[in-house]
């Protein structure tokens, strides 16, 4: 806005048009996001009684409960662990794929890009149903392993953390790949060749040239997938089963118990953690890039 208003004699009209352009979206965001957030934050400071439900108060009780109750703490650590695991695995799987997409000379590049995005066309629930047919003890994977004689016992992947991690990776990988691909594409191929001609073998080249140069993109892709994983709802519910708890489903179950204050507090812990780790990641990568 400041840059727009500094436009000189016609500045006044420009400000007006800028306002009219960003105005509607701002109103929607303010009413639809900030408003409910404020209300929810107020709720999180309220007290709760199973018989009288929400009681007006100003107490940190719900937050203290979250960080002292073993149940909530377990949920918290599982969530962060799953989010970190999926992010790291997405990065490991996504980087080579993004590199190939960034460097390919084929005419079918757009088709390849669409192929990366296609999984996102399938809804979360439908996708999870698909994974279920694969992961169950009598599912495709388990039966195939037994038929091939690789295992003798049924393999149970369904309703495990592994199933949830695989499921979330499947959702998040396209985001990671697309982010990395656009960053890698911006790195001139000559830089790779320069490294090769100076004596760097491919892996050394990646470590010394591509990786540090792509670091801002790696951070962006990592943050994106991390946020998505932290807040995953359908995948942990459908693939994790009733015993497996991540934060987003827990918030919902607290609502179902009519415990709005607790649900609101968990929601804010989730948001705060995501925000904190995101900021930490971007600060860390920025400093490393400056070295």
Partner 1 sequence: MARLELDRLSKRYGDFHAARDVSLDVAEGEFLVLLGPSGCGKTTTLRMIAGFVEPTAGTVKIGGRDVTTLPPWKRNTGLVFQNYALFPHLTVGQNVAFGLEMRKVAKAEADAKVLDALKLVQLDHLIDRLPRQLSGGQQQRVALARALAFRPDVLLLDEPLSNLDAKLRHDVRVEIRSLQQRLGITTVMVTHDQEEALTMADRLVVMRDGAVRQIGSQKDLYERPADHFVADFVGRSSFLSGTMAGDAEMKTAGGLTVRCAKSLSGPAVMALRPERVYVGREPISGQDNTFPGEVEFVSYLGSLIDIHVRLSPQDRVIAQVPNHDSAALPAVGDTVHVGWAATPAVFPADSDMRA
Strand partners, 53: 49
Would you count residue 252 as binding partner 1 (CB under 8 A)? no
18 vs 200 by CB, closer to partner 1? 200
Q: How far is the CB of 187 from partner 1 (least distance, A)?
A: 9
Match 């009219």 to its residue by tokens. 20
Among 13, 23, 193, 284, binds partner 1 (CB under 8 A): 193
Would you count residue 104 as binding partner 1 (CB under 8 A)? no
Site size for partner 1 (CB under 8 A): 18
Report yes or no: 191 and 64 within 8 Å, Cβ to Cβ.
no
67 vs 108 by CB, closer to partner 1? 108
Q: Which of 106, 103, 286 is nearest to 186 (CA)?
A: 103
Residue 120 backbone dihedrals phi, psi, to 5 degrees: -75, -15
Distances (CA, A) of 231 to 168, 234, 249: 10, 10, 9
Would you count residue 257 as binding partner 1 (CB under 8 A)? no
Token pair of 243 as six digits: 């015993």
196 vs 233 by CB, closer to partner 1? 196
The binding track of 196-215 with respect to partner 1, each residue x by CB under 8 A or -, is xxxxxx--x---xx--xx--
- State how beta strands 53-55 and 47-49 pair: antiparallel
Would you count residue 105 as binding partner 1 (CB under 8 A)? no
- Which residues in this chain contact partner 1 in the complex, by CB under 8 A? 188, 190-191, 193-201, 204, 208-209, 212-213, 289
């Amino acid at each position: 806005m400041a840059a727009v208003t500094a436009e000189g004699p016609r500045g006044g009209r420009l400000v007006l048009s800028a306002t009219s352009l960003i105005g509607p979206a701002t109103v929607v965001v303010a009413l639809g996001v900030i408003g409910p957030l404020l209300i929810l934050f107020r709720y999180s400071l309220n007290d709760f009684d199973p018989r009288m439900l929400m009681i007006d108060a100003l107490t940190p009780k719900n937050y203290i409960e979250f960080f002292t109750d073993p149940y909530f703490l377990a949920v918290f650590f599982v969530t962060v662990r799953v989010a970190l695991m999926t992010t790291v695995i997405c990065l490991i799987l996504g980087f080579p794929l993004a590199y190939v997409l960034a460097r390919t000379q084929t005419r079918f590049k757009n088709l390849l890009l669409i192929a990366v995005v296609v999984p996102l066309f399938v809804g979360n629930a439908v996708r999870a149903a698909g994974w279920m047919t694969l992961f169950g003890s009598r599912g495709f994977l388990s039966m195939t392993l037994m038929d091939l004689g690789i295992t003798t016992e049924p393999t149970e992947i369904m309703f495990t953390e592994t199933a949830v991690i695989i499921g979330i990776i499947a959702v998040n990988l396209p985001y990671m790949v697309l982010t990395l691909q656009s960053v890698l594409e911006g790195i001139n191929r000559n830089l790779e060749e320069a490294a090769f001609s100076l004596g760097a073998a491919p892996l050394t080249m990646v470590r010394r040239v591509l990786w540090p140069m792509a670091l801002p993109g790696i951070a962006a892709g990592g943050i994106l997938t991390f946020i998505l994983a932290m807040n995953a709802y359908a995948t942990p519910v459908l693939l994790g089963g009733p015993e497996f708890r991540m934060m987003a489903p827990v918030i919902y179950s607290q609502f179902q118990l009519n415990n709005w204050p607790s649900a609101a507090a968990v929601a804010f812990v989730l948001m705060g953690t995501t925000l904190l780790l995101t900021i930490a990641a971007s600060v860390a990568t920025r400093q490393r890039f400056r070295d």
